[in-house]
Structure 1
């Protein structure tokens, strides 16, 4: 199983200047390659390398490996764009969002990440230093730090490329690790159904509820502050909004990590699997009022599901995805489906059998049952391996 860990570099001012110049030059070259790719329609790696390799190597004085990674970065970006267009992520053809994505060359920010392979970057894990290529020559004995557990994993399981990034004035390397997966549990004692929502971020069929009420107030305050800073539109307001956006994302990531850790630990301890709703494309299918859309779209439910999945892979816990249709309207006792079963957001009252339960708990039991049926029918989850930042 592949995951990505982030280690923090500790460069001197001179080393930081060389790293900054490297990102700037590589991304200038990437923008040139992207413009040529858009103009000629040649967007696949091999053909694009034939067209642009020597010119960008000579013009921007890049090393051979750096030039090839610049070209591959552009080709991968266009491949991702094509995939997003096919999946409908940019709306219908001809829409404004679609035209903005498809009708102009892709551009790369001056500080956008640059990939490195083992020819350009070597790790000295015992000394906790790296030797890294830059446009100003190779930097040796560049120190790095990070969480002890992640650094131990880095020393034992690092494999593949690493990405150099700058974020908030600090420098990081995103290193790929190939971790062995635990022996999967092929005979689970049932499943834990997980219902994702707004009032309660996650509710499990075992009776655990991770409330989002206080978090909802905090997020409302965040939106109010963001709107006020956008109206002010001064440079100091923009700086504050940028800092606050990072804080908001880190808070969401931290909460999602904690929730996913608890759910996976419970499943592993009880010998169960985990059943999740397949919410892919939910934002396009859902029909909500504008305030509800803002609330739903501002929480990283996909991130929470991804965290649950990759932690489950490491623990050997099976994960299945079920059809989310009518999980909030189906009775977990008699399985009668009726929209009148939800008289209120938090209350479920079956109009057929009279069963009364908290709506989120009822939905989690429905998901639990669907997960077990999916597993028994042999349609267990076939989700591909994830690449995640641990």
Structure 2
């Protein structure tokens, strides 16, 4: 299976940092020029577009031969992704408006957007933890990088391109790594996981994972941003820039921890994992005004992706189930009615009288559906997602 790993570059001088930043600017300006030609003339295939713009982007933007080739490929990949999203309808609630905008103008790349590098213009020295990279100012050699021991071990299996990324004045390389995927074992039972906003994840074992703490942190961040935006001072703007993306990094770290705990529990107990298929949930749910911010910041898709790839690396079977009525159905007698869900936290079956935590009841229903899906052979996520 393929996963990505990230390392942080540590340029030893301002000259090296400026050269890396200038390279990103030149490559993305060249990508915008190539994108305009691709859009105007309808040249979306790589070989055709490369014949049309190769010499121009090399001369006008001072790119090397291989850098020009990677830039053209980046443009073609962007149009292929856009075409796939338009075909699949993955454009969100305002799909028709976004389709019109996407089809009416060429794709534009930010000046610091990621740029792919292959082995001809990027060389890794894992023993010394340095890289050699082509830039518009010449080849930079011996640029150190830092990463975790686990990431360094993964880089030994690196294949294909690596992306140079500039984020908040810092430079990162994101590499694709090929790792062996163990064979999936035959589960004895399934661990159901109910995803929610108040409680991010609740397992069928009755374990509630990281709800209140993350929600309190997000509220503090929203309040802080609102205060700083009202001030409109230079100091407030510097502070806003400093805390930018902090909440998303914190949420991603929390999701990693939750996913690791879920997969470790399933692996230790020889169980599979059952998750809800929540694609399109934001379009189906109508939230109250005071709940919209919490719903929009709910990173359930990210958590599901983390659980999925960690489960694959551990050989733990995973299935996605239909989430309909998991909160209204009794996990003991299967009676389904909306009045069974008394409030957000309490479930009381009107048929058998059992009283449970609502999320625990939902996770047990998900576990039952996961076992049924496994018996039917539904091992992977539905192809429509």
What is the 5 A alignment of 1:1-390? 1-11=1-11, 12-86=13-87, 87-92=89-94, 94-95=96-97, 97-154=98-155, 156-185=156-185, 187-382=186-381
Cα distance in 2 for residues equivalent to 1:242 and 1:229: 11
- The answer to whether the 8 A contact 2:214-2:251 is kept is no
* SS in structure 2 at match of 1:161: strand
Cα distance in 1 for residues equivalent to 2:350 and 2:310: 39
Deviates more, 1:238-247 or 1:315-324: 238-247
- The answer to whether the 8 A contact 1:158-1:175 is kept is yes
Residue 387 of structure 1 corresponds to none
Cα distance in 2 for residues equivalent to 1:94 and 1:305: 27
Cα distance in 1 for residues equivalent to 2:215 and 2:112: 33
For residues 183-233 of structure 1, give each alpha carbon's deviation from its aligned partner in whole angstroms, at most 9, with x where no partner exists. 211x10111000011111100001211141132122112112222333334
Task: For structure 1, list consecutive stretches of 5 or more residues without a partner in the other structure.
Answer: 385-390
For residues 78-118 of structure 1, give each alpha carbon's deviation from its aligned partner in whole angstroms, at most 9, with x where no partner exists. 222223333242445553x4444443222111111110011
Cα distance in 1 for residues equivalent to 2:369 and 2:95: 36
Q: Deviation at 1:40?
A: 2.3
TM-score (norm 2): 0.94
For residues 125-172 of structure 1, give each alpha carbon's deviation from its aligned partner in whole angstroms, at most 9, with x where no partner exists. 111111111111111111111111211221x21111101111121111
Cα distance in 2 for residues equivalent to 1:383 and 1:254: 27
Change in 2 beyond 3 A, CA 1:225/1:101: farther
Residue 388 of structure 1 corresponds to none
Task: For structure 2, list consecutive stretches of 5 or more residues without a partner in the other structure.
Answer: none
* SS in structure 1 at match of 2:51: helix
- The answer to whether the 8 A contact 2:287-2:295 is kept is no
What is the Cα-based RMSD across aligned positions, in Å? 1.7
- The answer to whether the 8 A contact 1:90-1:98 is kept is no
* SS in structure 2 at match of 1:131: strand
